[in-house]
Structure 1
């Protein structure tokens, strides 16, 4: 007697539910893990104290302290993963990265310039955001004719990619110049920002609103993204507004990247490996892939950040170094599988 095959809707519910449970487990694990561990038996009472607004015990205080950083890691990882998925759909390349168009490099130029001028932390965040937005607008002005086109042609995607690489190279040269003239006292913080670091990153509402808005846009565009992925040349005749879709994917992915980089610095590899791994595990349907990628990206960065602050505690590592050490071999493995 053959086992019944679940319907697509039921399969999607099972996958998203499993990823939700996994994401919740990683947040709980991050709250429990540190130089002073929180026993699992103390968790229910600690959560009750936090819900009542009175963290009286040591366990409740530790979880409250670690929860903010874990939530920042989750929203940053989810944003980077969703940006990577959108960038891969825009460029029709399963190994595209959210930083490939230079938005992250523009953000880094703004942030490092503010650090060099001894600006406040708020001004550094604002400069990083404006740098990312400025590069995104410059790319749009240079490649608007290709994104306005009705067909998702390979030439248009290649031209956008090439333009982004050149702009990124220009920004990288400015970053190198600023690092070379930076005083010793500011160089360490600038390098940590470039690698990506969540130590001291504040928990803010804006990144969550950006991620929620981008998720709503992505889910509404999921069917169109499926059509473009399968029938790129005939997408217009199938009723897809390809020009509007491409512009939407570009601006929303740029906004997600800017939000993530402003919060935590330039953390690499999350947007590169997570979408492709989810596509390999759950299939190419964007209606399932989008929520699974957001949850997987958030959980992945929470685990990486937990490792970064505990592996040589009490000293903390920048989380970008951990994602790079994990992401590089995973990327090489994915590239090998893609070739096969």
Structure 2
């Protein structure tokens, strides 16, 4: 037993010391991320091929500005794109966080596990088959993307567990293999369609972009994000139990098989809805959850709101960079997130290989 010198204080990290620190930090993290998201949104409205003064942007948003060409640019062109970027970034980050808990692997991500590729394949099939224009945008496109995402996720999970136990390496290999197969299927559908118009649309899904955002297409992804995130926050305790392993969670009363299947369906549904409007945007669900865990810990009730705000701010800023670094050209935002997330993924494989075999770090 270690004896403390007379008058010395006990160690700070004693029975919940770090938890107390995390709790005191949590409101500050939420406030900081909210401010970052607001600043990113204002920058997204002001910057681009045409730069608009920040004061003018604020006047337009608050309804104090006179009608002008700037008003059309801000409200009809850039604002829907900023909102779709925030919704998509939040959704992908939340999905990545949940998938990492479900498979107990910090490398899980909708893009890396082939979920986004499955959703893209479903959406491209609907585009090429030409299921009625109005129906395709409101019903068939999200439904096909959801079906593709769910099928890909089930297949990857089955392949990773085929040998009886699921390791990080097997999960990543299964995800990469399924993603390549689905990408090849998407290319095959495109080649056989022999249509230049289809080629342009399919390129949007494969690279990921927010350039086609319109106000009339934002309702479904926004509602799906809000409802899905609220449901997942309500399921925070079972998600936390999964981090201790299937046996431990079962001892504590969780039906892991049924719970995992239900959350897989929910994650696939949310992924399908988002990919149906933005295409496959990778690595948001890998980068943001790890940064959020370092800030507020791994408890999902506090983690998920932070992840949602962080993902929204990250993708809005990434899309802003995509619109400005090569202006007036518009780089697909999926290209920039891949350039950012790829090196991070390789660093995790090399530096945290042993931790990848367990739960999220």
Q: Structures share a fold, TM > 0.5? A: yes
TM-score of the aligned structures, taking structure 2 as reference length:
0.79
The aligned residue for residue 67 of structure 2 is 56
* Structure 1 gap ranges (5+): 147-152
Aligned-residue offset at 1:212: 0.8
TM-score of the aligned structures, taking structure 1 as reference length:
0.83
SS at 1:235 equivalent: helix
Instruction: Determine whether 1:177 maps to 2:191.
Output: no
Aligned-residue offset at 1:157: 9.9
CA contact (8 A) 1:78 1:296 kept: yes
Structure 1 residues 336 and 289, CA gap change in structure 2 (3 angstroms): farther
> How many angstroms apart in 2 are the aligned matches of 1:74 and 1:209?
13
Instruction: Determine whether 1:31 maps to 2:45.
Output: yes
SS at 2:281 equivalent: coil
Which residue of 270, 280, 286 maps to 2:284? 270
Aligned-residue offset at 1:248: 2.8
The aligned residue for residue 305 of structure 1 is 319
Instruction: Determine whether 1:247 maps to 2:247.
Output: no
CA contact (8 A) 1:136 1:251 kept: no
Q: Deviations over 1:282-333 (max 9, x none)?
A: 3222222211111111111111111112222222111111111122123223
Instruction: Determine whether 1:324 maps to 2:324.
Output: no
CA contact (8 A) 1:106 1:128 kept: no
Structure of higher CA gyration radius? 2
Aligned-residue offset at 1:48: 2.5
Aligned-residue offset at 1:7: 5.6
> How many angstroms apart in 2 are the aligned matches of 1:143 and 1:327?
21
> How many angstroms apart in 2 are the aligned matches of 1:76 and 1:310?
20
> How many angstroms apart in 2 are the aligned matches of 1:140 and 1:321?
23
Structure 1 residues 182 and 39, CA gap change in structure 2 (3 angstroms): same
Stretch of structure 1 that moved more, 86-95 or 126-135: 126-135
Stretch of structure 1 that moved more, 127-136 or 324-333: 127-136
Aligned-residue offset at 1:228: 1.9
> How many angstroms apart in 1 are the aligned matches of 2:57 and 2:148?
45
Instruction: Determine whether 1:89 maps to 2:129.
Output: no
Where has structure 1 moved over 6 Å in runs of 4 or more? Answer: 2-5, 139-146, 156-166
> How many angstroms apart in 2 are the aligned matches of 1:133 and 1:143?
15
Structure 1 residues 248 and 273, CA gap change in structure 2 (3 angstroms): same
> How many angstroms apart in 2 are the aligned matches of 1:212 and 1:176?
33
> How many angstroms apart in 2 are the aligned matches of 1:43 and 1:128?
34
Stretch of structure 1 that moved more, 79-88 or 168-177: 168-177
Aligned-residue offset at 1:101: 4.7
The aligned residue for residue 130 of structure 1 is 143
> How many angstroms apart in 2 are the aligned matches of 1:88 and 1:144?
12
